[in-house]
């Protein structure tokens, strides 16, 4: 499995995922702002087999997500203070660390 830091424009007024927490491939997600059209800008840390899996897996919880800003492979779960972890995210980050200790 690979770790990716991704971002997209969420075109819906309600930017939250369909399910809470989102599917297990989403280790964490955050709203970082809005674009000029009023769309929310979201970022997420995802755990996927391939970069090609990202749209399908994100669309499970954000079906309208099509306008991708970036998809960057990461080799660490380190994030700045701008992205605080909620309890469900901490659980997923820790599980990823346990299963992939050679990456972190």
Digit-coded pLDDT (tens) for 7-42: 999 999 999 999 999 999 999 999 999 999 999 999
41 part of a folded domain? yes
Q: pLDDT tens across 33-43, in order?
A: 999 999 999 99
- Number of domains composing the chain: 1
Which residues form the domain of 85? Answer: 2-99
- What's the pTM value of the predicted model, to 2 decimals? 0.93
79 part of a folded domain? yes
- What is the rounded distance in angstroms from the CA atom of residue 86 to the CA atom of residue 79? 13
104 part of a folded domain? no
85 part of a folded domain? yes
Number of Cβ within a 10 Å radius of residue 34: 13
8 part of a folded domain? yes
38 part of a folded domain? yes
């Amino acid at each position: 499995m690979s770790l990716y830091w991704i971002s997209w424009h969420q075109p819906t007024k309600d930017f939250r995922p369909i399910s809470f927490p989102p599917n297990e491939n989403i280790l964490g997600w955050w709203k970082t702002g809005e674009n000029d059209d009023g769309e929310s800008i979201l970022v997420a840390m995802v755990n996927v087999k391939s970069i090609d899996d990202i749209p399908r897996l994100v669309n499970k919880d954000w079906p309208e997500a099509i306008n991708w800003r970036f998809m960057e492979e990461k080799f660490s779960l380190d994030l700045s203070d701008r992205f605080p972890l909620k309890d469900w995210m901490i659980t997923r980050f820790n599980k990823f660390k346990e299963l992939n200790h050679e990456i972190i």
